[in-house]
Structure 1
Amino acid sequence: MATYSTKLFGESNSTDYRMYFFSSCGPISPFHDIPLHHTTPNVFNMVVEIPRWTNAKMEICKEEFMNPIKQDVKKGKLRFVNNVFPHKGYIWNYGALPQTYEDPSHVDANTQAKGDNDPIDVCEIGNKIFPSGSVIQVKVLGILAMIDEGETDWKVIAINIQDPLAEKLNDIGDVEKLMPGFLDATREWFRNYKVPTGKPKNTFGFDEQYKGRVGPDFLECPSVYLDVFVSFLRLSLGLCT
Structure 2
Amino acid sequence: MMSHYSNREFGASNSTDYRMYIMQQDQPISPFHDIPLVHSPPSIMNMVVEIPRWSNAKMEICKEEILNPIKQDVKKGKLRFVNNVFPHKGYIWNYGALPQTWEDPSHVDPDTKSKGDNDPIDVCEIGSRILARGSIVPVKILGILAMIDEGNFLSKITLLIVWASDYPLLHIDDVEKHMPGFLQATREWFRNYKVPTGKPKNEFAFDGNFKNREFALKIVNQTHEQWKKLVTEKTDFTGLYKYVNGNFIYMSQAHFFHLRGSSY
Q: What band does the TM-score fall into relative to the shorter chain?
A: over 0.9
Q: Give the match for residue 128 of structure 2.
A: 127
Residue in structure 2 matched with residue 10 of structure 1 by the alignment: 11
Do the aligned partners of 1:99 and 1:232 also contact (CA within 8 Å) in 2? yes
**CA deviation vs aligned residue, 1:106-158 (integer Å, no higher than 9, x gap):** 11122110001111000000011011000000001000011102211000000
* Aligned counterpart for 2:219 among listed residues 224, 232, 236: 224
1:67 equivalenced with 2:62 (yes/no) = no
Q: Of the two, which has the highest radius of gyration? A: 2
Deviations 1:62-97 (A, max 9, x none): 000000000000011100000010000000000000
Letter in 2 for 1:230: E
Other-structure match for 2:42: 41
Q: Does 1:95 align with 2:96?
A: yes
In the alignment, the residues of structure 1 paired with residue 84 and residue 26 of structure 2 have an alpha-carbon distance, to the nearest angstrom, of 40
Matches of residues 13-32 of structure 1 in structure 2 within 5 Å?
A: 13-24=14-25, 26-32=27-33
Structural RMSD (CA): 1.4
Aligned to 1:211, what secondary structure does the other structure show? coil
Letter of the structure 2 residue corresponding to residue 201 of structure 1: K
Once the two structures are superposed, what CA deviation does each residue of 1:136-183 show, in whole Å capped at 9, x if it has no partner? 0000100001110221100000000xx2xx432100000000000000
Letter in 2 for 1:20: Y
TM-score by length of 1: 0.93
SS at match of 2:222: helix
Asked if the contact 1:2/1:23 (under 8 Å) is kept, the reply is: no
Q: What TM-score do the two structures reach when normalised by structure 2? A: 0.85
CA contact (8 A) 1:143 1:154 kept: yes
Q: C-alpha separation between the residues in 2 aligned to 1:32 and 1:175?
A: 31
Provide the C-alpha distance between the structure 2 equivalents of 1:127 and 1:66, rounded to a whole number of angstroms: 30
Q: % of aligned pairs identical? A: 65
Provide the residue aligned with 2:212 in structure 1.
Answer: 212
Which structure 1 segments of 5+ residues have no match? none
SS of structure 1 residue aligned to 2:40: coil
Matched with 1:157 is 161
**Count of paired positions:** 232
* Structure 2 unmatched runs, 5+: 235-242, 245-264
Which aligned segments of 4 or more residues in structure 1 are displaced greater than 6 angstroms? none
**CA contact 2:141–2:217 (8 Å) conserved in 1:** no
Give the Cα separation in 2 of the matches to 1:152 and 1:65: 26
- 1:52 is matched with 53
* 1:192-212 deviation line (CA, Å, top 9, x unaligned): 001111111111111110011
In structure 2, what is the Cα distance between the partners aligned to 1:210 and 1:87? 21
The CA deviation at 1:27 is 1.3
Q: Which has the higher contact order (CA 8 A, sep 6+)?
A: 2
